[in-house]
Amino acid sequence: MRLVRCLPILVASLAVAGAFAQGYPNRPIKVVVPWPPGQATDVAARIVSEGVAAQIGQQLVVDNRPGAGGTIGSEFAARATPDGYTILAGSSGPISISPLLQKLPYDPAKDFEPIALMVSTAYVLTVHPSLPVNTAQEFIALVRANPGKYNFASSGTGATAHLAAELFNATAGLKATHVPYKGSAPAITDLIAGHVSYALETTAAVLPHVKAGRLKALAVTIPRRSISLPDVPTLAEAAGMAGFDVRAWIGFIAPAGIPREARTRLAAEVQRALDTPEIKARLVAAGLEPADLTPEQFAEFLKTQNERFGSIIKAANIKVE
């Protein structure tokens, strides 16, 4: 008798699931970008969203909600209805780092589900052209011989760029003064002006300045050379730092509870877009390297990133006041 009573409910549930699988998406999808237009996360989200929209026949509408290091927009997305029609362009700052440094109104591990890693970007050890060094080894020798004399810029205390620089300094045995800025743009501006000695910033942020000769690139922070800067060696090649791997990531994530069909469809469409030569070329030109992880691999990647950033924060005793 109990089975008979449950049968209509089961049939109805299967019918809804089948209709969802066939009809999703049947209206525009909102893509929340927790950064202002023109920032790397915004650029990646727009390029990939255009590709996905062309494939599925529905718009992916970018909704910029910047502020508080990406946490305002991330909280908004975390509270959205988990129906597959609101997703977040997540990135390392508000998802992998900020939760380790301060109490936030959302928990990335509980409030989000990974969909697809879109791109990653290396950090680049960059210096002003007037600094009398041409290689990472020469730079390390110079700074090591003058403890406390040189300073380094970052996009803010606890930002990924700050953590990358702290790990680099610790690995190389350097003592330098941290100068935090409110974003990558002012940090790079002062580096170009010669007000600070060096920085580790994303390929996307420094690429045009390196190409124009305003900055000198000495090494990248990933195990293999960057597609966008193929002539710049890795820290493993240039300074013997085997295993050094710090990168910024950008990917689509969704409010926890997103229907499995929606998550699977979006993941497949993002990967399909990333495999398109035009989309791939546009991302590389912007200093962003396309990724190819499944949702499960993306989840494991996030876990590894959180552990890596957590160890850097603890070792450097980084605190956000």
List, for residues 292-319, the tens digit of each pLDDT value: 788 889 999 899 888 888 888 888 888 8
128-172 pLDDT, tens digit each: 999 999 999 999 999 999 999 999 999 888 888 899 999 999 999
CATH label of the domain that carries residue 164: 3.40.190.10
What whole-number distance in Å separates Cα of residue 247 and Cα of residue 191?
20
What whole-number distance in Å separates Cα of residue 201 and Cα of residue 220?
10
User: pLDDT > 70: what percent of the chain?
Assistant: 93
Considering the domain boundaries, does residue 282 fall inside one?
A: yes
Is 38 exposed, middle or buried, given 0-12, 13-18 or 19+ CB atoms closer than 10 A? exposed
Considering the domain boundaries, does residue 235 fall inside one?
A: yes
- Is 212 found in the same domain as 258? no
Considering the domain boundaries, does residue 115 fall inside one?
A: yes
Considering the domain boundaries, does residue 1 fall inside one?
A: no
What whole-number distance in Å separates Cα of residue 169 and Cα of residue 160?
14
pLDDT confidence of 4, banded at 50, 70, 90? very low
Considering the domain boundaries, does residue 36 fall inside one?
A: yes
Provide the residue range defining the domain that includes 178: 122-239
Considering the domain boundaries, does residue 8 fall inside one?
A: no
